[in-house]
Amino acid sequence: MRLTLGFSPCPNDTFIFDAMVNKKIDTEGLSFELTIADVEKLNKLAFQHSLDITKLSYYAYAYVMQDYILLDAGSALGNKCGPLLISKPENQKSKVEDLVIAIPGKYTTANFLLSLAFPRAINKVEMLFSDIENAILQNKTDAGLIIHENRFTYQDKGLVNIIDLGEYWEAQTGLPIPLGGIVIKRSIPSEISKKVNRILRKSVEYAIANPASSQEYVKQYAQEMSENVRNQHIQLYVNTYSITLGKIGRNAIKTLFEWAQRNKLIAKTIEDVFLSS
């Protein structure tokens, strides 16, 4: 059986999917047609129901939970890994509400957190996450909301941190921040969905046990990144929650949806969001 699969070119995604898509593990008769794209594009493809399985932002999932269900494996969720709001030094002390802010997409968890912390910050410009640092440096925006590997590079460009929105979330909730997860269409038979989750978990476990195995695949999609930044990226975003969400991970995700609903950022959610074991 062939399924369409979307994930981002970021090192944590290529790291965890390498063994699965390159047949380094038994895929139990399944094969995958890949779409590799920025997470906001994947969010929008999910809104169009274009992919059978896809990575997407947890905030975006709130808009498609009627059509997709969350897998237990493959999530980017953890502590001290949230998005950062950055600027040039001269804007660091400005009121966030007065700044023009570059964001990596309306439906990203990063933008959800920014809206939660600063509901009056509405002067936002959407752009590809990798363009945000340069937009600030070129004075196209006053500040920017960075995700992924940019948290390892912004200081080298003379930019400064205004607020760590991951730390804000953790201080408010005591929970890890759910950034992105893997979903599968509810229309796919349950036994196939469980098989996909089983294969993905094995792929994550294989990657963690054999870190050198995925190096070339990761490098292929992150050509502008140094090996050190790639490794830092993987170490930050791939952890035990990537193998299984567990009770704490599920609680964090439910809390995100509850907060989003309470703050009128999403409509009413449903209870059945996790794939049963």
pLDDT higher than threshold 80 for residue 131 = yes
Strand pairing partners for 160? 87
Domain span(s) for CATH 3.40.190.10 in the chain:
2-77+178-262, 84-173
Which residue among the candidates 8, 18, 51, 148 is catalytic per the annotation? 148
CA dihedral 270, 273, 276, 277 (to 10 degrees): -150
- Please give the pLDDT value at position 185: 98
What backbone torsions phi and psi does residue 140 show, to the nearest 5 degrees?
-80, -25
What backbone torsions phi and psi does residue 60 show, to the nearest 5 degrees?
-65, -30
**Which architecture does CATH list for 84-173?**
3-Layer(aba) Sandwich (3.40)
**Domain 2-77+178-262: which CATH number of 3.40.50.300, 3.20.20.105, 3.40.190.10, 3.40.50.970:** 3.40.190.10
Q: For a pLDDT cut of 70, what percent of the chain falls above it?
A: 99
Active site residue 148: yes
Q: Which amino acid is at 217?
A: Y
- pTM of the full predicted structure? 0.93
Better-scored residue on pLDDT, 223 or 101: 101
**60 labeled part of a ligand binding site:** no
- Please give the pLDDT value at position 7: 98
The model's pLDDT over 223-256, given as tens digits with 9 standing for 90+, comes to 768 899 899 999 999 999 999 999 999 999 999 9
**130 labeled part of a ligand binding site:** no
Rounded to 10 deg, the angle between the 165-173 and 246-262 helix axes is 100
Mean pLDDT to the nearest integer, 133-159? 92
Distant-in-sequence, close-in-space partners of 107: CB < 8 Å, separation ≥ 6: 40, 43, 44, 57, 59, 60, 63
pLDDT higher than threshold 90 for residue 60 = yes
**How sure is the predictor about 165, in pLDDT bands with cuts at 50, 70 and 90?**
very high
**56 labeled part of a ligand binding site:** yes
**50 labeled part of a ligand binding site:** no
**How sure is the predictor about 130, in pLDDT bands with cuts at 50, 70 and 90?**
confident
**55 labeled part of a ligand binding site:** yes
Q: For a pLDDT cut of 90, what percent of the chain falls above it?
A: 86
Mean pLDDT to the nearest integer, 183-202? 97
